[in-house]
Amino acid sequence: MLMITIAMAGVAYMYISGIFTAKTGTLVEIDTTATSCTGTTITVYVRNTGTIAFNKNLISLSGTSSSGGTLTGGTCTAGTLNAGAGSVACGVSLTAATLGNNRIVVSGPSNTATGSVYCSG
């Protein structure tokens, strides 16, 4: 009985101190409605769905074209990505997109998000 009480107190302490909730503090998401394709260039819009603001240069872009090639991107430009704010342009575009659905991968400080963008002729 004593061990159960100690374990419950430990779980309560970790929750109160934010250990469980810290992982959701900085979540990046792709805004597929704002993300667009022009020719072979994809302009990616991202948003922070977490609870803590962070710098956009902690986000990197990559992906796969509809033909199976690699989409090249890099790290987003500097600037604050506020928690719960609207979507903002990454500032670095993905290149080498081809006609059809291109898969986008956005890696943030604590998660990776994927999406697709359709490029037409």
Is 4 among the domain residues? no
Average pLDDT, the chain: 88
Q: Is the confidence at residue 46, as pLDDT, over 60?
A: yes
| Domain count along the chain | 1
pLDDT at 12: 76
Per DSSP bridges, beta strands 28-30 and 80-81 are unpaired
Nearest CA-CA partner of 75 in 88, 94, 50? 94
> 81 forms bridges with which residues in the sheet?
54
Is 14 among the domain residues? no
Is 94 among the domain residues? yes
Is 113 among the domain residues? yes
Q: Is this structure's pTM higher than 0.85?
A: no
- pLDDT, average across residues 66-72: 93
Rounding to the nearest 10 degrees, give the CA dihedral for residues 90, 93, 98, 99: 50
Q: Which domain holds residue 31?
A: 26-119
What CATH number has the domain bearing residue 72?
2.60.40.10
pLDDT at 18: 62
Is 47 among the domain residues? yes
Is 101 among the domain residues? yes
Integer angstrom CA distances of residue 36 from 22, 42, 55, 105, 111: 32, 6, 22, 14, 22
Is 11 among the domain residues? no
Q: Say how far apart CA 106 and CA 117 lie, in whole Å.
A: 13
Helices (H) and strands (E) in the chain, counts: 2, 12
Q: Say how far apart CA 36 and CA 44 lie, in whole Å.
A: 7
- pLDDT, average across residues 1-14: 82
